[in-house]
Amino acid sequence: MRISNDRKRTERRGNRATTAPLADNSTDHDPALGLARNFGTAGLRTTLSWQVARTLFRIGFAGSLAVFAGRLIEDAAFDVIALSGALACLALSAAAGVLADLAAAGAEDVVVDRLRAALQDSLSRKSPVRIRTRPAGALVAGLQRYPGAVAGLVISHSVAKSMLAIGPTLAAVAVALVSWEAAITLFLAIPVMVIFFVLLGGVVRSRAEAQEKAFGRLAAQFSDRIRTLPTILANHALPREHGKIEARMTLYADSTMAVLKVAFLNAGIIDFFSAIAIAVLAVLLGLSHLGLMHVPGFSGLALWQSLFILIIAAEFFTPFRRYAEQYHVKAEGQAAAKELDWYLDDSGTAMTGADDAGAKPFTIDGAFDAADFPPAGLIAISGPSGAGKSTLLRMLAGIETPPPGFKPLLQVTAEGCDWISTDIYVPAGTLGEAIGWNRGGHERAVLQSAAAHVGLLDERLLPGGLDARIAEGGDNLSGGQRMRIGIARIMLSGGVVLADEPTAKLDPQTAKLVRQMLIDIAKRRLVIVATHDERLIEAAGRHHVLRVPSQDGQAVAA
């Protein structure tokens, strides 16, 4: 692609990004959770209010039903008022539950939408080199999946956590009005449940983090295999790649089941201890009514009071059961928030080639001045992954802001620059249109010569010559085909060639072809490559190594 046009598009994106700044109320340690909680504050309060109302109506239902059943059994009296109150409270409880669920769903949708907008805004301000540190598949899948998991944590789980204190308190107060001894009996079961929450919490959290990592690796691998499918088919490697993806899917399924197993175990433990507590109450109340034993607070109660205690006892443990059901939501949400913190990390945004103190984030071996570059030849730039090789190329091209004193090539050459890589932009249309894109008008014979030189006319997986159909974005192209289209493009111009990892992710035969083409072009023009390819480095007339300062300030190279 031509750098001048790409530079304009980059500047427009930067201008748009400044109009939508990231909210500044997130915490330093948990920016994703801070944003999500802020976005969900109003919805959380509404949902919690309806849940409290639902609990109160259920307590009212329990009291009315107990009075109705007690009078019906002891006095053979059909209490219409008590029955009507029970039915009314039941209906209101159901309505409050529906409204609470709707409020929770609406609040989570708001959190997801606003969180995605904040993430997209943050990504628009990150430097391309920072974004490329993550696989495209994992990046897109994370935007799709993680906001929903975080929304579930800040809404559904937060409501369940709040009701864990509010629900049992309301139920215990209602029981205490009849028998404070029974209320204390209910509270005795709480420490045991809390202990199991703590013990299982760490297990669920670690397994949820493993699940999210497995999901990210699966998404990245799937995206990469889809992009390189033509190459896979050409090399008859489909069965092998199918086996790899199937293994990843199995690993992700196993990690998901590992999370659910612990969550189900947690819920089962809650049900077990709540059943024991209710059974103890039922035995004490039953033996007291039969006159077989005398227990303070349980003897001398009317039948409706005993029934009320038993019904409310079930309501007392309901919040614990719901919290246990939401426990894996907490673990998944925390793991997702941890992953989203990368998206919101501003340390990789608006990369300028210098840190806050004005120092370069990397050092370069040898003199590196665009004004001193030869008119032709091959210059290789190497260094460890993430050292800034692509950033340096973008500085040379003028699409990254360079540090003071660094001159982009556009300031020292009138020929312009051409950028090539395995992910260059390819428009939908024909092969001829893809080669001639952004190059002005060229005769078909010129396009034919360029395509023939890079071996695209006799491409078995791209039949039709210059009329071969190209899908939008080049989705039906392999990395090698993209690279050869890029090389064919630069043959139509005479500027400096900037090649970003030109032989990466290519099969050996295609990499050899691309390497030789760049060497041939370097005999007539200046070619600057950022690469790990040792053979390409050996063929270069000049070699510069990027060194990244370590924690102790010493420069570290590849």
Summarised one tens digit per residue, pLDDT across range 187-224 is 877 777 777 666 666 666 667 667 667 776 776 667 66
Q: Which ranges of 188-300 does DSSP label H, i.e. alpha helix?
A: 190-227, 229-234, 238-289
Distance of CA 512 to the CA centre of its chain: 37
What is the distance between the alpha carbons of residues 95 and 92, in angstroms, rounded to a whole number? Answer: 5
User: Can you tell me the distance from the alpha carbon of 37 to that of 22, in angstroms, rounded to the nearest whole number?
Assistant: 15
Nearest to 494 by CA among 392, 413, 373: 413
Pairing type for strands 542-549 and 363-364 reads antiparallel
498 φ, ψ (degrees, to nearest 5): -115, 115
Domain with CATH 1.20.1560.10 in the chain: 40-347
CATH number of the 363-556 domain: 3.40.50.300
The 10s digit of each residue's pLDDT in 451-478 is 888 777 777 767 777 888 887 667 777 7
Give the DSSP per-residue string, 6-42.
HHHHHHHHHHHHTTSPPPS-S-SS-HHHHHHHHHTHH
Locate CATH 3.40.50.300 in the chain.
363-556
Q: What angle do CA 405, 411, 413 make, to 5 degrees?
A: 130
Q: Is the pTM of this model over 0.85?
A: no
- Taking the alpha carbons at both ends of the chain, their separation in whole angstroms is 29
Task: Give the model's pLDDT for residue 12.
Answer: 37
CATH code at 40-347: 1.20.1560.10
pLDDT of res. 310? 86
Is the separation of the CB atoms in 496 and 525 below 8 Å? yes
Cβ atoms within 10 A of the Cβ of 161, count? 15
Contact (Cβ atoms closer than 8 angstroms) between residue 238 and residue 510: no
Query: CB count, 10 Å around CB of 331?
Result: 28
- Residue given tokens 């990397």 in the structure block: 362
**Residue 139, both tokens:** 């990046």
Given a cut of 50, the residues of the chain with pLDDT beneath it are 1-28, 348-360, 550-558
Say which residues have a Cβ less than 8 Å from residue 409's Cβ, sequence separation at least 6: 370, 373, 396, 397, 398, 417, 496, 498
Cα separations in angstroms, 319 against 170, 200, 263: 11, 18, 15
Report pLDDT for 23.
Answer: 38
Report the pLDDT value the prediction gives residue 355, as an integer from 0 to 100: 35
d(CA 495, CA 255): 51
Identify whether the C-beta of residue 289 lies closer than 8 Å to the C-beta of residue 73. Answer: no
